[in-house]
Amino acid sequence: MSRNFAEKIDHTLLKATATKDDILKLCKEAADYQFFSVCVNPIWVSTAKKALEGTDVRVCTVVGFPLGASPASVKAFETKQAIAEGADEIDMVIPIGAFLSGDNDTTYTHIAAVKEAAGDRIVKVILETSYLTDEDIVQGCELSVKAGADFVKTSTGFSDGGATLKHVSLMKGAVREQAKVKASGGIRDRQTMQAMVEVGADRVGASASVAIVTSS
């Protein structure tokens, strides 16, 4: 596995039961294998930032996670707090119910509010594609680009399904060169990750990152 491949991975631990020791282990693995970032819940941002001092590994956290159902103002506050504590990147969940209701204005407002709060930090917009039609996915990508998102992302990993090759390819086509694509959810081996990259994933979120990069 090339270093370049490892650098596409957000090494992820978002379980409710994750302890401080678990987070420190995650950070050590990320530094050892030179993953792009760790992705942790907001309560662990400062812990991860401190643990990764002196490395090139970034700290990513989640906002409005995993349901996307908090108000835009709350997501903006979460974003500002996370950045103050050391977050380099923000993965936010759209207001899924509002989006499925056809409320594009609210969806846009949520994404734009987080992007404004994030400033120059990377913002990835989680669409939760397993709940969406192909048309929804394209529309969600277009709204994300319009609101200034840097990435669109498939999944939280907490829904009925994760990333699929079809959805990643669809998202890549929808954002064109205006944003990047992160595949997340159910990626547990090298072959699956390679396939995701080949159809357009610029970044991959995984909890099985070590197994991915050490498998043959």
Query: Catalytic amino acids?
Result: 91, 153, 182
By the 10 Å C-beta count (0-12 exposed, 13-18 middle, 19+ buried), 2 is classed as exposed
CA 59, CA 11: separation in Å to the nearest integer?
10
Identity of the amino acid at 164: T
- What is residue 19's DSSP assignment? -
CA 154, CA 101: separation in Å to the nearest integer?
19
Q: For 62-179, where are the alpha helices, taking DSSP H only? A: 72-84, 96-100, 104-118, 134-146, 165-175
Decide: 117 and 109 in contact? Cβ < 8 Å. Answer: no
